[in-house]
């Protein structure tokens, strides 16, 4: 069996897979909110106990390899992250699972999601425009959630290789007066305004309070309440005009950043939009705002409009990608991030 996981700033998902003829089948899935555990060790022990109760005791070398996609940058044998409350280290995983450290793989969560793309089915994707993917052309993945992640896929002659990035830390580029106001206001609060400060879950509250200072909601100050969830809910319901406009501004900024990424990569193989927020605002992504902002790039607007844009509907894509990377390593192939 292979153990694979997606360790994020909001939630963690761990899944056991059986392997057969180079294909994986999920046999047990464990899901928990990140705030409910206080360390990687506690997360793994909770999973092991739960799996045992479900009839999958992890002992006697039943797990042959483990791979985890995690929110952050993989530096040697650990993940460096601003969005995780505790450390993720290979040695700790090896000690708990009783595996050799060489059989444990750490990946950036976007790299893990990117590794899943070639294994997804049509039911796992929703196309937002009429573009047609070009075979073996570069592809790009962008995902907003607790943070913002981006990854690039290039064809090396045999398969896609994945290049991770920390594009979330690039400077936010305003495109209109409202976005300039947003940047100026945030600049008074912080030394630098990164793209992730806007295009992530925390960006919703920032946009709402800066652009609509006269509209205050009680949930802004309620402990345990995520303002992004409430703002998007009220926007989709149409119960708050300020929330509706906040979602509009956020969606356009998201589309524009995806378009910026496309200018750098020219991903005529497709742009894939993943992450938890996309699934929660799916109807908004389908209304054309995202695609128009994506394509609004002056002389290259027509060319960008031809790039197909897909929303990844499978929320466990990072888990699946991590599992396939682990299986590739077991079969003697280098991982696609090499």
| CA proximity to 231, closest of 218, 250, 247, 215 | 247
In terms of Cβ atoms closer than 10 Å to its own Cβ (0-12, 13-18, 19+), residue 170 is: middle
Whether pLDDT at 335 is above 60:
no
Q: What is the pTM of this model?
A: 0.89
Domains parsed from the chain with CATH numbers: 2-108 (3.30.420.40), 121-313 (3.40.367.20)
**pLDDT the model gives residue 322:** 95
Please state the rounded mean pLDDT for residues 224-234: 94
How confident is the model over 236-258, as pLDDT tens digits? 999 999 999 999 999 999 999 99
How confident is the model over 29-43, as pLDDT tens digits? 999 999 899 999 999
Sequence-ordered list of residues with C-beta below 8 angstroms from that of 21, at least 6 positions apart, any chain: none
| CA proximity to 272, closest of 118, 84, 157 | 118
- Residue-wise DSSP of 35-67: GG-SSHHHHHHHHHHHHHHTT----TT---EEE
| CA proximity to 10, closest of 145, 160, 126 | 145
CA distances from 150 to 179, 296, 306 (A): 21, 20, 20
**pLDDT the model gives residue 9:** 83
Please state the rounded mean pLDDT for residues 191-213: 96
Q: How would residue 333 be classed by pLDDT, with cut points 50, 70 and 90?
A: low
Please state the rounded mean pLDDT for residues 281-294: 97
Q: What does the mean pLDDT of the chain come to?
A: 92
**pLDDT the model gives residue 338:** 45
How confident is the model over 24-79, as pLDDT tens digits? 999 999 999 998 999 999 999 999 999 999 999 887 678 899 999 998 788 889 98
Please state the rounded mean pLDDT for residues 280-289: 97
**pLDDT the model gives residue 337:** 55
Please state the rounded mean pLDDT for residues 10-19: 93
How confident is the model over 87-119, as pLDDT tens digits? 899 999 999 998 999 999 999 889 999 999 999
């Amino acid at each position: 069996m292979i153990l694979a996981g997606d360790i994020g700033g909001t939630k963690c998902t761990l899944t056991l897979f059986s392997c057969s003829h180079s294909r994986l089948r999920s046999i047990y899935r464990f899901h928990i909110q990140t705030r409910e555990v206080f360390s990687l060790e506690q997360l793994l022990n909770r999973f092991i106990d739960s799996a045992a109760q479900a009839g999958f005791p992890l002992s006697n070398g039943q797990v042959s390899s483990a791979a985890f996609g995690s929110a952050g940058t993989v530096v040697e044998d650990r993940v460096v992250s601003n969005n995780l409350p505790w450390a993720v280290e290979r040695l700790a995983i090896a000690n708990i699972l009783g595996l050799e450290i060489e059989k444990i793989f750490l990946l950036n969560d976007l790299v893990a999601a990117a590794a899943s793309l070639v294994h997804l089915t049509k039911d796992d994707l929703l196309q937002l425009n009429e573009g047609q993917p070009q075979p073996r052309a570069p592809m790009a993945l962008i995902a907003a959630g607790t943070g913002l992640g981006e990854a690039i896929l290039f064809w090396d002659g045999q398969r896609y290789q994945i290049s991770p990035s920390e594009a979330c830390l690039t400077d936010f580029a305003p495109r209109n007066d409202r976005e300039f106001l947003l940047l100026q206001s945030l600049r008074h609060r912080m030394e630098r305004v990164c793209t992730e400060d806007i295009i992530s879950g925390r960006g919703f509250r920032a946009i709402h309070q800066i652009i609509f200072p006269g509209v205050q909601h009680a949930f802004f100050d309620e402990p345990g309440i995520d303002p992004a969830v409430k703002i998007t809910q009220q926007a989709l319901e149409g119960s708050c005009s300020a929330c509706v406009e906040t979602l509009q501004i956020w969606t356009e900024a998201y589309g524009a950043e995806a378009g910026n990424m496309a200018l750098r990569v020219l991903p005529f193989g497709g742009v894939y939009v993943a992450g938890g927020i996309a699934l929660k605002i799916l109807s908004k992504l389908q209304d054309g705002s995202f695609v128009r902002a994506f394509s609004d790039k002056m002389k290259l607007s027509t060319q960008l409009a031809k790039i197909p844009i897909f929303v990844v509907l499978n929320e466990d894509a990072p888990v699946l990608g991590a599992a396939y990377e682990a299986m590739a390593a077991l079969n003697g192939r280098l991982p696609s991030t090499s």
